[in-house]
Structure 1
Amino acid sequence: MLKTSIDEFLDGEEEYFSVDFDEFEETIESLGLSLYTPEETIKRAYKKINQGEGSYNLIFNNCEHFAFWCKTGVKYSQQINQILKLPKTLIKK
């Protein structure tokens, strides 16, 4: 993990993906989860990195899983969930 400004991170690119947790507020509450404050989220990220996050795995432990865990306490990847649904969609057609 590297602490950097958004401008450095984007390195001249204009588009990036981010999660607006306000969109998930109802779902998060229905699951009995709560959102950590920005300060708590950052502390959780540093603590997890210092403890050793574990091996990267595209399906089970990617950057989206990590970021979602830092904010909610649950590992989740919307992108992976959509990909995993794709075979079911193809079979139905």
Structure 2
Amino acid sequence: MILFSSSTSNHSLDNPCPACGYRKTFSGVTSSCLDCFLWGGELYLFEYSVNTAFFIAKVRGGTCSLASSDPPEDVLHRAYYLLREGDFGVYDLFENNCEDFAVYCKTGLLVKFTSVGSGQAATSLLAASSVIVSSPLQLLMASLTGIAAVGLGMFCISRLVSDIGVRCDVAKVPVEMLGSCFDPSMSQYDDK
């Protein structure tokens, strides 16, 4: 079984993994076995096609999406194609990271115009910061419970409207066309 990860393991260039041949690199997303992928960590399941109530109840960002996952053969085709061709763009912690790679492979959805905050991690960070910036002053003086309730509500709504499954600025993009999609003229692609 081969999984995809941008994490590193204890295998160096001189000491490849005996199971999968993985060698430690710092070049973004790579292919490895499950042991190299986990590197002593735990495996978490990202859920697709969740309903809105479940999505809002999952306060921790980066665990689920309203978007549907495509069939496994489509997901694997995208992942293997991108690993061979390297057409997913330059790795960036906030705008183009391993989570964005995985969500694209699973759904085929891509944000049309990349900008700060287009990545899943950036969206969660911006949603959290909006809680602090946009809290009404009256609630800040009312009670700590009121602040927490409003803040949590705003955070959940921010996550909901920025989920790739409900955004208006995403398109289903064939993996073979992905290299040309980092151009702002993506209007040639139909919306989901």
TM-score, normalized by the shorter chain, greater than 0.5: yes
> Are the equivalent residues in 1 in contact too, given 2:91–2:97 (CA < 8 A)?
yes
Contact conserved, 2:47 with 2:65, CA < 8 A, in 1?
no
Range that drifts further, 18-27 or 62-71: 18-27
Q: Contact (CA 8 Å) 2:94, 2:120: kept in 1 or not?
A: no
Out of 30, 53, 62, which is 2:97 matched to? 62
Deviation digits for residues 16-50 of structure 1 (CA, Å, limit 9, x no counterpart): 3331224369932xxxxx52222221111111222
Residue 23 of structure 1 aligns with which residue?
Answer: 50
Q: Deviations over 1:44-66 (max 9, x none)?
A: 11112222222001221111111
Equivalent of 2:84, from 40, 47, 50? 50
Aligned residues: 87
Q: Does 1:9 align with 2:29?
A: no
User: What residue is the counterpart of 1:81 in the other structure?
Assistant: 123
Q: Structure 1 11/26 Cα, relative in aligned 2: closer, same or farther at 3 Å?
A: closer
What's the TM-score once normalised by structure 1's chain length?
0.70
TM-superposed CA distance for 1:5, in Å, is 2.8
Residue type matched to 1:87 in 2?
S
Q: Any conservation in 2 of the 1:41–1:71 contact (CA below 8 Å)?
A: yes
Identity %: 31
Structure 1 contact 10–16 (Cα < 8 Å) conserved: yes
AA aligned to 2:129 is P
* Greater helix content: 1
Please identify runs of 4+ aligned residues in structure 1 that moved more than 3 A.
75-79
Q: Which amino acid aligns with 1:48?
A: L
Instruction: State the distance in 2 between where 1:26 and 1:5 align.
Output: 25
Look up the SS of the partner of 2:122 in the other structure: helix
Give yes or no for contact 2:75–2:106 (8 Å, CA) kept in 1. Answer: yes
Q: Report the residue type matching 2:133 in the other structure.
A: I
1:37 match? 71
Larger Rg: 2
RMSD: 2.7
Structure 2 Cα separation of the partners of residues 22 and 64 of structure 1: 17
